[in-house]
Amino acid sequence: MALELVRIDCRLIHGQILEAWVPTTQAECLVVANDVVAQDKIQRMVMEMAVPSNVEVAILPVKEAALEMRNGRWEHKRVILLLIDSADALALFNAGLKYSRLNIGNLHFSPNKKQITYSVALDSSDLENLDQLNEQGVLIEIQNAPNDPSRSFFEINKIYQDL
């Protein structure tokens, strides 16, 4: 399996993924890893219908996604792994799916969060989760679209502390 992109994007499968990230990475498979979404038949159906027929879609609970990926389910596919938040990113890593790079694309603002970029807001638990991944050697960056400049975890952390 070629894990082309591990991305936190609270919107999961949407136009930007399909129109920008899939072509850029030449992905053949989209894997969504989230316990709640995996149980939501309507949300699953909407996402599955949005994806072109030449791209495989799997929507699984986090531990099952980690297991399937470690066991080689998509061994010969180029995969984009989509996560809803930093907690799922850390849970997936702790479930044994070791990845070296994490892209943060979109996390909506809510109370107690600090707006880091126009598309990413983080709270203290997000920062703790990301820090744990960073300590494990995961390169963390904010990058909304493939042609956008990226910001490193160091920059993210500094912006958060300065707000």
pLDDT at 162: 87
Give the 3-state secondary structure of residue 132: helix
Give CA–CA dist 131/113, Å, rounded: 16
Give CA–CA dist 119/20, Å, rounded: 16
pLDDT at 10: 96
pLDDT at 137: 97
Cα-Cα-Cα-Cα dihedral sign, residues 8, 12, 15, 17: positive
Q: What is the pTM of this model?
A: 0.95
* Residues 80-131: tens digit of each pLDDT: 999 999 999 999 999 999 999 999 999 999 999 999 999 999 999 999 999 9
* 56, burial (CB in 10 Å: exposed 0-12, middle 13-18, buried 19+): middle
Which domain covers residue 123, as residue numbers? Answer: 5-162
pLDDT at 131: 95
End-to-end C-alpha distance for the chain, whole angstroms: 40
Residues contacting residue 76 through CB under 8 Å, at least 6 positions apart: 1
Give the count of domains, the chain: 1
Domain CATH number, residue 62: 3.40.35.10
* Residues 118-162: tens digit of each pLDDT: 999 999 999 999 999 999 999 999 999 999 999 998 888 888 888
